[in-house]
Structure 1
Amino acid sequence: MTVEMQEVDQAPDIDLIFTKADLRDVVPHDNDPVVVSVVTMGRKVHRVLVEQGSSADVTFWSTFNKLQLSLDQLRPYTGYLYGFARDQVEVRKHIELRITFTNDIASRTKNIRYLVGNAPSAYNILLGRPTLNRLGAITSTRHIKMKLPSLEETLITIRSDKKEAKRCYENNLKTKRRVFTVTTQPPSEEGVTRAEVARERRPEPAKDVLEREIGGRMFKLGKSLGQGTQDQIAEVITQYLDAFAWSASDMPGIDPDFLCHRLTMDPQVRPVRQRRRKFNEEKRQVIKEETRKLLNADHIREIQYQEWLENVVLVKKANGK
């Protein structure tokens, strides 16, 4: 078995320590990550996450495209990437890029091999232990700084960008993206050379379906299912037919503790009132009918307001209604 290894650099042997002086410019923070900026291929790249928990250096496909790199620079990769929960991440190959760490006083340039991961991320690059060890760099999340020696045996201190760190964290929360702290694993004996995509996919309805009446209701079953499987599904549906809700009236009086829609509004901001719109007769009938259904099911109740609030929003469903 051949194991591919990166060259080991002999980093200058100087003391890298954090002192009280490194805390003077640190604003109290909520355990922010260390997010820095580097120069890659002559371009400044922001949102670089320094992650000691990662055993691989990763750049993402979106970053590859933004840097306008050539596909000819990609090299085959036959391993895997795994996230926290052993989720496999698709690897599009690897690439070696020249990267410069600088604090505008001193700098250090090194060729770094990145795995190109096809996964959504708020970060552009993830620097793991391979790069930190090659550079002889250390990070401190308390001081939110990274220190590394220059080839002239001087100390390079790179401060974390607090604004970018906070913005990335918020973006991860909004979009429910994952920050991949990854580990590598060689290919299996079965010859699998490519990891499966780790992105969470929403279930999609089957395209080829057939309609079947079950318990007086029409259901759609996949044509690819065998007759025996279809009969088993029909049997289960018949057994639990009363668990299906066919209209709003089948779900009367939902407990607000279980489901309740609220408008999150800032009391210090004056609401913007929309101009009242007039709907055509077809839309008015739809609004009237849907309102009647929700009133009958006790999902909503009528409240009188002295001022106009907002227009009704009509959204077309998947079935075209």
Structure 2
Amino acid sequence: MPPITFTDDDFKGVDPSQDDQMVISVDIDNFTIMKTLVDQGSSVDILYWKTFKALRIPIEEMMPYNDHAVSFSRERVGTKGYIELYTTFGLDKASKTLRIRYLVIDANTSYNILLGRSSLNKLGAIVSTPHLAMKFPSLSGNILTIHVDQKIARECYAESLRVEPTQQKVTNSYLPRCKMPGRGRSPRRHAQSAEHAVAMADLDPREVEPRLTAKDELRHVPFIDEERYTSIGTTMAVADAELIHQALKRNVDLFAWMATDVPVVNPKIITHCLSVYKEARSVAQKKRNHAEEKRLATRVEAEKLLKVGFIREA
């Protein structure tokens, strides 16, 4: 294998002071699979069930797998089977295609695919997390490079913190055997028309939690006027409701209904810091034309923020 080296020029992200994960894109059957996690700590390559269904692969092509995957916490995770797919790394001529065996797992995750050591070694890839880049030799001997989309990598990490684990039994469902065992799906053999070649930008299987709602009917309890009020359940005893109402009124200064009610927040309480790349070139947003109603509403909200000093004119 030819020597592979990394320099500062290999970093194509926006924030060099980072510890972001390696999240790239690969191509499978004319689909561009974004949010593909490169995990050198995994011994297997994983295709998540949500992604499998989005690829519209017939389930008959999946082979049974009579074992379980073991997670980092040593938890045994049930699998649906395995499938071999031709996976392309890179773009156009600067690309390399491998036949990769994926375990298909049904799990809530912010990623679509997880690439482990097996595929990375087969690819001959060298990963550099400081440069957010991965290099590997092509069939002709040239060194190809894949860069991480730093924005997507951070979005995936933030979303992974909110994903609830899948509650599943550690059992294997029976899968019918493929008519041609071990065959990979060739992009040429399964070519699709241009309108069906979609980019799967968001296949996160996380469920949106419903907001909590009151079980009983509520009645408005004003503090200062009819626009500044709270709500108390109608099933509460009158004496208890009045006790709570009076306690809230005595501490009405703790509540805020608009930005002008909170002119200053002590930085010791909360501070919001933006991760800004200072050397980046400033780009003006394209002017947007809004309807008169939206334009007036935007002006009113902007004036509120200007009044309390939350924003200022450039």
TM-score normalised by L of structure 2:
0.56
Residue 66 of structure 1 is matched in structure 2 by 54
Deviation digits for residues 114-159 of structure 1, max 9, x if unmatched?
0001111110000000001111111111111111111111111000
CA distance in 1, matches of 2:121, 2:69: 20
Residue 292 of structure 1 is matched in structure 2 by 241
Q: 1:291 to 1:67 in 2, by over 3 A?
A: farther
Query: Which residue, out of 235, 247, 251, partners 1:303?
Result: 251
Residue 97 of structure 2 is matched in structure 1 by 109
Q: Which amino acid aligns with 1:286?
A: T
Deviation digits for residues 242-279 of structure 1, max 9, x if unmatched?
xxxxxxxxxxxxxxxxxxxxxxxxxxxxxxxx978999
CA distance in 1, matches of 2:229, 2:251: 20
Q: 1:24 to 1:48 in 2, by over 3 A?
A: closer
The number of residues matched between the two structures is: 203
Gaps of 5+ in 2: 174-225, 259-314
Asked whether the 8 Å contact 1:78–1:193 carries over to 2, the reply is no
Asked whether the 8 Å contact 1:35–1:50 carries over to 2, the reply is yes
Residue 78 of structure 2 is matched in structure 1 by 90
Q: Which amino acid aligns with 1:292?
A: A
Q: 1:135 to 1:122 in 2, by over 3 A?
A: same
Q: CA deviation at 1:92?
A: 0.3
Asked whether the 8 Å contact 1:103–1:156 carries over to 2, the reply is no
CA distance in 2, matches of 1:20, 1:290: 70
Asked whether the 8 Å contact 2:23–2:36 carries over to 1, the reply is yes
Deviation digits for residues 156-189 of structure 1, max 9, x if unmatched?
10001101100000001123559xxxxxxxxxxx
Asked whether the 8 Å contact 2:67–2:78 carries over to 1, the reply is no
Matched, 1:35 2:23: yes
Percent identical among aligned pairs is 36
Residue 144 of structure 1 is matched in structure 2 by 132
Residue 144 of structure 2 is matched in structure 1 by 156
CA distance in 2, matches of 1:153, 1:114: 27
Q: 1:299 to 1:111 in 2, by over 3 A?
A: farther
Q: 1:278 to 1:177 in 2, by over 3 A?
A: closer
Asked whether the 8 Å contact 1:103–1:157 carries over to 2, the reply is no
Q: CA deviation at 1:63?
A: 0.7
Q: Which amino acid aligns with 1:303?
A: N
CA distance in 2, matches of 1:290, 1:98: 70
TM-score normalised by L of structure 1:
0.55
CA distance in 2, matches of 1:133, 1:92: 25
Residue 118 of structure 2 is matched in structure 1 by 130
Between structure 1 and structure 2, the one with the greater Rg is 1
Q: CA deviation at 1:30?
A: 2.8
RMSD: 3.6
Residue 165 of structure 1 is matched in structure 2 by 153
Higher relative contact order (CA 8 A, sep 6+): 2
